Amino acid sequence: MVSTKTEEELELMAYAGKVLYDLLNYMETVIKPGISTKELDSIAERFIRDRGCYPSCKGYEGFPASICTSINDEVVHGIPSKRKLKEGDIITIDVVATYKGYMADTARTYEVGKVTKEVADLLKHTKEALYKGLSVVKSGVKLNEVSKAIESVAKEHNLGIVHELTGHGIGKEMHEDPYVYNYSNNESELILKTGMTLAIEPMFTLGKRYVWLLEDDWTIVTQDGSPAAHFEHTIVVTNNGYRILTGE
Ligand code: MF3
Ligand code: CO
Ligand code: CO
């Protein structure tokens, strides 16, 4: 069942989303060679709690930190550690906040110092896919149109689309119905409706699409070791389009 949210519920999600947008912008200024992912996690946790929210990842199915930090070939769910960022790395921060019982979820991949042109383009095109997906969102549109739009950007640039992970509905739970695939998929005939809240999140790789789960039972990496990028926004469907709750 895909729920729609009331104006009151949306305002709570929008507050959580605004805190996360400010956080990811702030992270832009602290991500540098030499900083550890544990330090990033502490900064994020304090930032979120200081603004009256809860860092929802913490304790979610046993996840031990407030943010997911995924470096280079790590696609998602990297666990913050003593590992320090290096010049030329990329790092995805994926984070969820809860405000008065309502959640927002967002992710962004950052460049650490200078990266290769190929890697910079991977980031650029993954972000572009998120916005291309968003561009077709409005009440009355089939959800699969969003998936198709995201897929078209990966195809155009020959990027791998990770299939094992998807976007999702969000609200009182971090993961609600429906699944939002990053490739055309006929499993869902869902028609978007005003008030539905979705986390849309393309995950692309510079190589093949295949991934492994590491022994820590969380970190998902590309099988071929190629770098991966991930951009995510929480949005609400409106009559004429959408409103991003985790950005402008
Ligand atoms: N934020 C992730 C998503 O986009 C889920 C994080 S799993 C957690 O769906 F355990 F870290 F919370
Ligand atoms: Co996320
Ligand atoms: Co998500």
pLDDT score of 143: 97
Residue 149 forms beta bridges with which residues?
A: none
pLDDT score of 187: 78
Q: Express each pLDDT in 24-53 by its tens digit.
A: 999 999 999 999 999 999 999 999 999 999
- Residue 232 beta carbon below 6 angstroms from any ligand 1 atom: yes
- Average pLDDT over the chain reads 98
pLDDT score of 188: 78
Biggest CA–CA distance in the chain, Å, is: 48
- Mutation test residue for ligand 1: of 41, 70, 174, 201, the one with most atoms within 8 Å of CB: 174
Pick out the chain residues at pLDDT < 50. none
What residues sit around ligand 2, an ion, with C-beta below 5 angstroms? 94, 105, 107, 232
As a whole number of angstroms, the distance between CA 98 and CA 96 comes to 7
Helix (H) or strand (E) holding 134: helix 117-135
Handedness of CA 94, 173, 243, 142 (dihedral sign): positive
Closest by Cα among 106, 76, 92, 146 to 13: 106
3-state secondary structure of 182: coil
Nearest CA to ligand 1 atom 12: 57
Distance 96 CA to ligand 1 centre (A): 7
Which of 75-94 are b and which e, b meaning 16 or more Cβ less than 10 Å from the residue's Cβ?
A: bbbbbbeeeebeeebbbbbb
Closest by Cα among 89, 95, 121, 125 to 108: 95
Provide the CA 25 distance to its chain's centre, in angstroms: 14
